[in-house]
Every structure is written in structure tokens, then in C-alpha cells.
Chains A and B, each alone.
Chain A
Amino acid sequence: GAVVSQHPSRVICKSGTSVKIECRSLDFQATTMFWYRQFPKKSLMLMATSNEGSKATYEQGVEKDKFLINHASLTLSTLTVTSAHPEDSSFYICSARRLAGDLNEQFFGPGTRLTVL
């Protein structure tokens, strides 16, 4: 099956620091990766769509200067939360799209729990 990994799985940081989260597709190439944020008891919120070799497309209301996304290769995308604040504490999940016939499916990483003190 298609496996997506995320690192780290959990991070605690001080307010004002930057945190980088990696998303890797382990056994397939992902031309598109998605970054989601999930608040407690709420649906996944799409933050941005990341295409390899080009700038990410951010959803309305998501600050591109605060959430830096880099999709350097077909198997790696990174999300950097810059100058993190307590309100950035959340569960961040990436997914990677694999085009397989008619099934355009997204495979999810295990998520990263960010806690900003």
C-alpha cells in the first residue's frame, strides 16, 4: 500500500520559535501534497495544496508567511510554522495524492501534534 510518514509525531515548543514538519511519501511519488489542520471536534481544514517544484496554493485565511510550505521533491513536502504562538497549537496532517487510474486518492500521514507553550 501507499505509505505516508510525518516527522515529528509530536512537538512541544516555546512561543516565538519555528517548527518544521516533514511529510514523506515512502513508496510512491506524490506530485501533490496537502496540508490540513484539525481543531478538536472539527473537520479537517485544508491549509494549502503543495505541488512539486512550484509555490504552494494557500486557502483563504491561511497566512503564507506564517505557514511556509516547501515541496522540494516528489516524495517530500515540509510545513514550517514560523514564530509559533499558543493559538497555533493543533494537529497538523499531511496527505499525498497518487493518481491511479480513476481513483484519485489521498493517503494520509499519521499527523503531528504541535503544542506551543
Chain B
Amino acid sequence: GQNIDQPTEMTATEGAIVQINCTYQTSGFNGLFWYQQHAGEAPTFLSYNVLDGLEEKGRFSSFLSRSKGYSYLLLKELQMKDSASYLCAVMDSNYQLIWGAGTKLIIKP
């Protein structure tokens, strides 16, 4: 079956760095996406990785290792507004997104 695993909840301090991990097992792979979702809102796109390595975009970076079925989202210089759920999703061979359950990130002052 297809499976996406990520931690349920993480806590970090404002100004610090946090890494959210995601492991996946899917039928086929056409890229891995990270989305941010604030409570009561739809997900918003953060990053896309299809090749191994690190993609940096401002305070957010995303890493992919296809051989390990592993990705992480790195958030630097955390701000209170970064408190949200972070969803990992993999596009399978049918170009459909398979979703993780999301990681709730709590930022403390």
C-alpha cells in the first residue's frame, strides 16, 4: 500500500530552527510536495522536490532522498506565524497526490 509518515506534532522556539521529516512508500514517484496549512484554511504550496538534494527558498528549505524514500522540511528563524500544520504529499505514478496526516508545529515565544 501507499504510506506517508510524518510526526504528529512538534514544538519549537521562536527564532530557532526546526526540521520536519517525512518518509514515504508509494507506487511510483513524480515529486514530493510540502504544504503549509493554517487552521480552517486550505493548504498553500511551499516546495517541490523531484531530484535528490536540497531546495532552498528563503527561510524554508526542503530535502529529498529518493533512494531512502525520505524528505525533510527545514524552517529557519522561526516566527510565531509559522505555527501551522505542515503536510507532506507525494505524487504517485498516476499523478495523484498521496497525503501525509500533517505535522502540527507549535511555536513558543
Contact = CB atoms under 8 A, between A and B. Distances in A.
A110 B41 contact: yes
A110 B50 CA distance: 26
Interface in B63-105: 87, 91, 95-97, 99-102
Contacts, number: 43
Contact of A109 (B33, B42, B45, B102): B42
Interface in B7-60: 30-31, 33, 35, 40-45, 48, 50
Interface residues of B, number: 21
Contact of B42 (A42, A49, A93, A97): A93
A38 to B, nearest CB: 9
A104 B91 contact: yes
Contacts of B100: 43
A43 B50 contact: no
Contact of A108 (B44, B95, B101): B44
A80 interface: no
A43 B87 contact: yes
Interface residues of A, number: 20
A102 B101 CA distance: 26
Interface string A90-117: 0101000100001111111111010000
27 contacts: A34-B96, A34-B97, A42-B101, A43-B100, A43-B101, A43-B102, A44-B87, A44-B99, A49-B96, A91-B40, A103-B48, A104-B30, A104-B91, A104-B95, A105-B33, A105-B48, A106-B97, A107-B45, A108-B35, A108-B42, A108-B43, A108-B44, A108-B45, A109-B42, A110-B41, A111-B40, A111-B42
Interface of B: 30-31, 33, 35, 40-45, 48, 50, 87, 91, 95-97, 99-102
